[in-house]
Structure 1
């Protein structure tokens, strides 16, 4: 009886494992933040910061996503965007190329091969983006005529490509280690850390504006209300799901018989998560990068006009952004959720949807339900991402997060909390089993 009252060795081990995973995530985030202050050689830091400030727009947003690494031109300036882009491209190709489709069905070995392709794509995208940024920076000057690069030339290009590519690959490796040895999705946690890194300065800046009279009390209250409202809305929508009733037929097994059972097939409204906004922002960044390649040449003037109209808050930007988010929401949902596979699994387990024949009819029904849910989820993503932008432009409210960043932060925190709770429930379940066995003994 004394043994039953005390904590078991397995329970303590489970708690120790959870504690170690959390400490590993914290240590990895500290390494990430320290690395964001390691600069690439050859760049004037003051001129670079002024350039980001005077350019603004989409570059400001990506500077926020990288935790200020782009403004400091550190080795982590590219962040995890090349890895995310490469992984999405590989997933898209895996749905249309037969050889990659076969790899997806081979289980763990096929997944390792797809992961290798993703890493190779990350190297290529990182090197390409690093080369473009290096070439662009050599032609940039601040409004005061101060060059951004001390000594332009091949040496600067080489050091930038090597440094930025190595930094992006290190973040890819760090994110994979966090996923495997920590809690939550490592890549998402790195994006989360970059976004919240600038939050203290934003809060101090907002409060100073309020104390100086630059920001009225009404607008300050509006900022707080907007944050709370959008956060609550995101939490509600991320937890919302459509439950399709599923009946299991009566079965007999030996001396036991199983009566008809009713269960549910849960379908999330937002199956794509935060991937559509991230990928939409990645695509909209390319004109901003291309426009700086040759700003002094005649042929790049149209790119300068393009980046102007594709800046956050401009009508064309909002329209293109909304179309991209909706498109990627449907496309990515089609990649991660296969209605035919779901229908086949239900048929093999002896389950059926009331009023729907098993097989193809079930797949068509699930696909129609999922299409409607994805449409609602896509509109929800557009609303969350663009409403704060409208508020910033209309009332000049210094809402630091923005819709996209707030969505990412809330979803990552929810995922992290859910996984911690899953570990705790597993620990409690194992403890109850051990106590039950001891009492029987």
Structure 2
């Protein structure tokens, strides 16, 4: 009977390992997909004549990345959300059975309150970062100067409002994606007895991001070499 119990326990352990591997692969695929995802706003350039030459008339697009802030919102949110517990730990962990210990456990990095605050702060920092990095007024003014316009929207305030609306939607989706990637390992850590199995989502985003950037850099180098060889 002990052999059967050991065999069933080993099977359960292997099942957990298999589920974790499948989960990690799914997470990597999801991160790769979102990392390259972008919303392309169509832009049309008006025709204008300079001397005898005709300029403009071509159509292009304004790319807006879904995750334009990278892992910065996660890093900021994690630092601030874990600050009270970190300070409290330096002062001294409260004794068991006290009210202070109950509060300490409630705001601990494994608690539900911490996860909720962490998630909300990720969304907040994502909006903050996108507002700094991508200014709809500046983009609209640059388009106007270059003779470009978004089909269906007049230059000026209508264009700014449309770009801002799209930016808010994209940022919300990107922020929720970052929140899910950051929270999932914490949720897995609560269900799995071994905390070491809960792999950080932030680390996966950084590793996948670096790998994709390296591939792009290699592709551009190969393309440059081919053009150089062709010209010579």
TM-score class normalised by the smaller sequence: 0.7 to 0.9
Kindly indicate whether the alpha-carbon contact (under 8 Å) linking 1:246 and 1:262 is maintained by their aligned counterparts in 2: yes
Report the CA distance between 1:338 and its aligned residue.
Answer: 0.8
Question: Secondary structure at the residue paired with 1:267?
Answer: strand
Report the CA distance between 1:286 and its aligned residue.
Answer: 1.7
* CA distance in structure 2 between the aligned counterparts of 1:347 and 1:393, rounded to whole angstroms: 53
User: Which of 382, 394, 402 in structure 1 is aligned with 2:200?
Assistant: 402
Question: Secondary structure at the residue paired with 2:91?
Answer: coil
* CA distance in structure 1 between the aligned counterparts of 2:217 and 2:100, rounded to whole angstroms: 45
Kindly indicate whether the alpha-carbon contact (under 8 Å) linking 1:326 and 1:382 is maintained by their aligned counterparts in 2: yes
* CA distance in structure 2 between the aligned counterparts of 1:371 and 1:356, rounded to whole angstroms: 18
* CA distance in structure 1 between the aligned counterparts of 2:85 and 2:167, rounded to whole angstroms: 35
Greater strand percent: which structure?
2
Question: Secondary structure at the residue paired with 1:361?
Answer: helix
Kindly indicate whether the alpha-carbon contact (under 8 Å) linking 1:290 and 1:303 is maintained by their aligned counterparts in 2: no
* CA distance in structure 1 between the aligned counterparts of 2:115 and 2:66, rounded to whole angstroms: 23
Correspondence 1:335 to 2:160:
no
Decide whether aligned partners of structure 1 residues 293 and 387 sit closer, same or farther in structure 2, where only a CA change above 3 A counts: closer
* CA distance in structure 1 between the aligned counterparts of 2:93 and 2:123, rounded to whole angstroms: 36
Q: Deviations over 1:21-46 (max 9, x none)?
A: xxxxxxxxxxxxxxxxxxxxxxxxxx
Question: Secondary structure at the residue paired with 1:335?
Answer: helix
TM-score when normalising by structure 2: 0.84
Report the CA distance between 1:215 and its aligned residue.
Answer: 6.2
Correspondence 1:415 to 2:189:
no
Report the CA distance between 1:228 and its aligned residue.
Answer: 0.4
User: Which of 56, 72, 81 in structure 2 is aligned with 1:284?
Assistant: 81
User: Which of 211, 223, 226 in structure 2 is aligned with 1:428?
Assistant: 226
Report the CA distance between 1:383 and its aligned residue.
Answer: 1.2
Report the CA distance between 1:389 and its aligned residue.
Answer: 2.3
Q: Deviations over 1:118-158 (max 9, x none)?
A: xxxxxxxxxxxxxxxxxxxxxxxxxxxxxxxxxxxxxxxxx
* CA distance in structure 1 between the aligned counterparts of 2:220 and 2:208, rounded to whole angstroms: 18
Aligned to 1:344: 141
Aligned to 1:264: 61
Kindly indicate whether the alpha-carbon contact (under 8 Å) linking 1:295 and 1:304 is maintained by their aligned counterparts in 2: no
Decide whether aligned partners of structure 1 residues 254 and 227 sit closer, same or farther in structure 2, where only a CA change above 3 A counts: same
TM-score when normalising by structure 1: 0.46
Q: Deviations over 1:325-364 (max 9, x none)?
A: 0000000110111111111111111100011111222111
